[in-house]
Chains A and B, each alone.
Chain A
Amino acid sequence: MSQEPKKNAFLIFLDELSRSSFLVTLLAIFTGLLLGGLLVAVTTVDVYTAMKVSIWDGIQVALIAMWNTFYNLFIGAVGNPAEIIAALQGGDALTIRRAIAPFFESFVQTTPYIYAGLAVALGFRVGLFNIGAEGQIFIGAATATWAGYAFKGLPVYIHLPLALFFGALGGGIWGFIPGILKAKTGAHEVINTMMMNYIAFLLSDWLLRAPMQDPNEYTPKSPWILDSAKMIRLFDTPIRFHIGFFIALLMAFLVWWLLFKTTLGFELRTVGLNSNAAKYAGMKVTSAIVIGMSLSGALAGMAGANEVLGVNYRLTPGFSSGYGFDSIALALLGRSHPAGVVLASLLFGFLRNGARMMQVRADVPIDIVSILQALILAFIAAPAIIRTIYRLKEQKVEEAGISTRGWRSE
């Protein structure tokens, strides 16, 4: 019995994973990859040419095409093992860095996913469906950029956290607005965050054309941020890996701590699971909604800030390649748990990074990765399919984690 109280949320989570949902998730990823491979095979022209000779030839070519795709996806994501070994033996620092760069680049790709995935996952826990992460990312990037070039003469240990904070603040405000609208008027956050997205896109467009445009540029681009606001890089070029990844891990830990270890987190989760019971128990449902949306927005804003301060160093139109929308997938894949979100983000980050190499070497369009992501998600969202394919036993308890309220309820 003395062991049982030690069973904290993380252990319960692990326990849950081992029981079945983790297995389902893994099988969903596996099945998604497999189907993606088949898709590559049926869209490769060579396969059909070979088919005309004999079915066996066709299958052979198809297998080669699939192998090429996944091999290059892997090489692109973690680097070429042969090259890495050769470079290490050669001993030239630049060659080594070039060889291991793809591996670290995957973490660079992962970092914004972690922030954005946490944002949506936190929302889910409070019963809110924040589909406005994309807009919050834009605003967070804009405010962080401004803080990055407007404050001058600060040391890095003040300027960088300040710029990151400004990013969180911008995103937080963008989340606060639909939050307060929902709390005070009952307006549904799905619609309002969607609308806030459009406002954010057009607002950042305008900012780049007028007040924030670099006077030395003819195209809409902001000034470069100061060196003191840049995320510290841990290696020389061409490795872009920076401390943002560790800050993201820290945020994941903080979100976990907040949700599962604090009274505020208890309120947020209770409101998310049953707002009526929360109200009856004397909790303030409206303030939980506002806090939940604001924190969710702040995390998304940090994703935007991370991209500006760690990678781009200035704001340009359309810099976010859809992190905000992928984040919904990440939260679902990670079952709204911070640890799950980190794992899901790593998967997406490595896939995205590997996809470029795959496009160049195997001549497979980069969009196949989006299809892979979509397939994996479809299987996650419909666990019954996976259970049927692999003859898994029905899970007794309902899958926990996602608890977004319906359209009309408070």
Chain B
Amino acid sequence: MTPILELRGITKRFPGVLANDHISLTLEKGEIHALLGENGAGKTTLMNILYGLYTQDEGEIFVKGKKIDVHSPSDAIHAGVGMVHQHFMLIPVFTVTENVMLGDEYIKPGGVLNQQKAAKKIRKISDTYKMDVDPDAYVRDLPVGTQQRVEIIKLLFREADILIMDEPTAVLTPQEVDELFKIMQTLIKQGKSIIFITHKLREVIECSDRITVIRGGKVIGTTTPKQASMNQLAAMMVGREVDLKVHKKKAIPGNAVLKVNNLKVFSTAGQMAVNDISFEVHSGEILGVAGVQGNGQTELVKALTGLMPVAGGEISIDGQDVTNSSPRKITEIGTAHIPEDRQKDGLVLASPITENLILSTYYKKPFAKGMTLQNQNIFNNSIELVKKFDIRTPSSNTAVSSLSGGNQQKVIVAREFSRPIKLLIASQPTRGLDVGSIEYIHNRVIEKRDDGCAVLLVSTELDEIMQLSDRIAVMFRGKILDILNANEVSKELLGLLMAGVQPSDKEKKLARTKKQEIVVT
């Protein structure tokens, strides 16, 4: 049987970069083919070529055995290829129907839109693939997972047979990921074919039929989830052996560094985002804060770091009351902060590495003498930190914007870890990073813990929370539902808590025994 899609020898050059080097790939009808690779490996370039956003320098594309030329997305759609982008292309104030029919409108005589007909078709699609989408709902009112389904419906509405999904799970909660995988299974059962782009190993193993690994613009190999282990895949992806397990010694907690008492914080929209929570983080331990995005974690971190006003309760760091203190005071006590959004809040992208490394210490010796900056010392500092934290860059005068995500995060880590700290607040420290960088950041965080630093780790990645934390607090709708010892928790238990369900004692016990089983094997 001819494959539904075949790419042969696709090559794409950008100035100075060979983004795709003779990539060949086949997609069979009714399969989920995962395209695995680190950021910058060339996955997205390849898919943009297939989708007509770029034109290849060499190579051919065949759909159902027929060679096609794709010069624009409309060519691709015409050939039955559709793409779900990482960032949704939806208009929030329009209804689902309006969004779906945009660009492919049903029209009644006289130029009037035929919304009823479109809505009927959408409802049918939704039912066929069990997507549960209401055509009359406004997109702005829908959760992220449902918005993604609207994107998928857009493609099915245009009769696409081949769906490209670019990092579809990056924006989803664990529950939404499970639902997405179910929908993907339904789609292939009905004869659709899916290319699934990702850099998350677990997801690949979980849901794909075949896996093609790309590194440095080249196909490294194609395998199946049964044949390959996560470690093998990681090694193929990175090009060296990667230790996926985090190795850490037993925590030796000391005295409480961060104390939070009955903290209340309002969100910028004026809602109670953090509702009366109390906890402590001790030196030498990592407290993980788990929870679905948007349950008050952002506001909690902002209140702790002085970026948002505290509406009630107290915060103290190292014995000093820092409730509603300025960010500078909190920093000077010895708090390091790895912000959730590194590009927006953590770095000045247009500035060189040198300046980004002194962003919070520029006014102190040795970087300033009176009011003048000491450029020699600033430069020496950057040379030292670039080396120590292995920041890959042509020079330390390079603008941070031209670094990769992993190296950008290393700049932040270098800045925050290079001064004496007692408390580390890390928010989504590895979001969007590749396997190698994640390994690096995790090891540094554990190093800090072992040095006697108190660490508050906020993450929506369950794996990260479970691997790094010594204790885990689960946040749901602004409250901490429970704080558990990391060795007493299973993924299922955390999943329940994250969904706001208080598990019974039986379930807790089960989790404990399950965990022990894992340890035994």
Interface: B328 (CB within 8 A): yes
Interface: A389 (CB within 8 A): no
CA distance A292 to B278 in the complex (A): 41
For residue B142, which residues in chain A have a CB less than 8 angstroms away from its CB? none
Interface: A270 (CB within 8 A): yes
Evaluate whether A276 and B397 lie within 8 angstroms (CB atoms) in the complex, with A270-B359, A400-B350 already known: no
Whether A277 and B348, one on each chain, are in contact in the complex, defined by CB atoms closer than 8 angstroms, is: yes
Interface 0/1 of A167-199, CB less than 8 Å to B: 000000000000000000000000000000000
Q: Of the candidates B326, B380, B401, which one forms a contact with A5 in the assembled complex, judged by CB atoms under 8 Å apart?
A: B380
Interface: A300 (CB within 8 A): no
Q: Of the candidates A7, A270, A280, which one forms a contact with B351 in the assembled complex, judged by CB atoms under 8 Å apart?
A: A270
Interface: B38 (CB within 8 A): no
CA distance A278 to B358 in the complex (A): 11
Evaluate whether A263 and B373 lie within 8 angstroms (CB atoms) in the complex, with A280-B339, A400-B350 already known: yes
CA distance A261 to B371 in the complex (A): 8
For residue B348, which residues in chain A have a CB less than 8 angstroms away from its CB? 270, 273-274, 277-278
Whether A397 and B359, one on each chain, are in contact in the complex, defined by CB atoms closer than 8 angstroms, is: no
Interface: B207 (CB within 8 A): no
For residue B345, which residues in chain A have a CB less than 8 angstroms away from its CB? 276-277, 279-280
Whether A280 and B371, one on each chain, are in contact in the complex, defined by CB atoms closer than 8 angstroms, is: no
Whether B350 and A273, one on each chain, are in contact in the complex, defined by CB atoms closer than 8 angstroms, is: yes
With most chain B CB atoms within 10 A of its CB, the pick from A4, A7, A263, A269 is A263
Whether A280 and B372, one on each chain, are in contact in the complex, defined by CB atoms closer than 8 angstroms, is: no
Interface: B43 (CB within 8 A): no
For residue B337, which residues in chain A have a CB less than 8 angstroms away from its CB? 280
Whether A264 and B371, one on each chain, are in contact in the complex, defined by CB atoms closer than 8 angstroms, is: yes
User: In the complex, what's the smallest C-beta–C-beta distance from B232 to chain A, in angstroms?
Assistant: 37
A-B contact count (CB 8 A): 82
Interface 0/1 of A151-176, CB less than 8 Å to B: 00000000000000000000000000
Interface: B125 (CB within 8 A): no
User: In the complex, what's the smallest C-beta–C-beta distance from A53 to chain B, in angstroms?
Assistant: 51
Residues A222-277 near B (CB distance < 8 A): 261-267, 269-270, 273-274, 276-277
Whether A280 and B346, one on each chain, are in contact in the complex, defined by CB atoms closer than 8 angstroms, is: yes
CA distance A396 to B339 in the complex (A): 28
Interface: B347 (CB within 8 A): yes
Evaluate whether A279 and B351 lie within 8 angstroms (CB atoms) in the complex, with A5-B375, A261-B373, A266-B373 already known: no
User: In the complex, what's the smallest C-beta–C-beta distance from A281 to chain B, in angstroms?
Assistant: 4
Whether A277 and B359, one on each chain, are in contact in the complex, defined by CB atoms closer than 8 angstroms, is: yes
Evaluate whether A277 and B373 lie within 8 angstroms (CB atoms) in the complex, with A263-B368, A266-B355, A282-B360 already known: no
- Chain A binding surface SS class: helix
Q: Of the candidates B328, B368, B376, which one forms a contact with A282 in the assembled complex, judged by CB atoms under 8 Å apart?
A: B328
Residues B329-370 near A (CB distance < 8 A): 331, 337, 339, 344-351, 355, 359-360, 362-363, 368
Whether A279 and B397, one on each chain, are in contact in the complex, defined by CB atoms closer than 8 angstroms, is: no
For residue A274, which residues in chain B have a CB less than 8 angstroms away from its CB? 344, 347-350
Q: Of the candidates A262, A279, A281, A282, which one forms a contact with B373 in the assembled complex, judged by CB atoms under 8 Å apart?
A: A262
Q: Of the candidates A261, A267, A398, which one forms a contact with B350 in the assembled complex, judged by CB atoms under 8 Å apart?
A: A398
For residue A1, which residues in chain B have a CB less than 8 angstroms away from its CB? 383
For residue A7, which residues in chain B have a CB less than 8 angstroms away from its CB? 397
Interface: A8 (CB within 8 A): yes
Whether A277 and B346, one on each chain, are in contact in the complex, defined by CB atoms closer than 8 angstroms, is: yes
Whether B307 and A5, one on each chain, are in contact in the complex, defined by CB atoms closer than 8 angstroms, is: no
For residue A279, which residues in chain B have a CB less than 8 angstroms away from its CB? 307, 327, 345
Evaluate whether A12 and B399 lie within 8 angstroms (CB atoms) in the complex, with A5-B379, A282-B331 already known: no
Interface: B402 (CB within 8 A): yes
For residue A4, which residues in chain B have a CB less than 8 angstroms away from its CB? 379, 395, 397
For residue A143, which residues in chain B have a CB less than 8 angstroms away from its CB? none
Interface: A336 (CB within 8 A): no
CA distance A276 to B339 in the complex (A): 11
CA distance A278 to B307 in the complex (A): 11
Interface: A136 (CB within 8 A): no
For residue A266, which residues in chain B have a CB less than 8 angstroms away from its CB? 355, 362, 373
Closest to A397 in B: B399
Whether A280 and B327, one on each chain, are in contact in the complex, defined by CB atoms closer than 8 angstroms, is: yes
Q: Of the candidates B307, B350, B355, B395, which one forms a contact with A280 in the assembled complex, judged by CB atoms under 8 Å apart?
A: B307
User: In the complex, what's the smallest C-beta–C-beta distance from B79 to chain A, in angstroms?
Assistant: 31
Interface 0/1 of B205-236, CB less than 8 Å to A: 00000000000000000000000000000000
Evaluate whether A263 and B350 lie within 8 angstroms (CB atoms) in the complex, with A4-B397, A280-B345 already known: no
Interface: A145 (CB within 8 A): no
CA distance A400 to B355 in the complex (A): 15
For residue B339, which residues in chain A have a CB less than 8 angstroms away from its CB? 280
Residues A1-57 near B (CB distance < 8 A): 1, 4-5, 7-8, 12
6 interchain residue pairs of minimum CB distance:
A282-B328, A5-B379, A281-B359, A281-B360, A282-B327, A274-B348
Binding site for B on A (CB under 8 A): 1, 4-5, 7-8, 12, 261-267, 269-270, 273-274, 276-283, 396-398, 400, 403
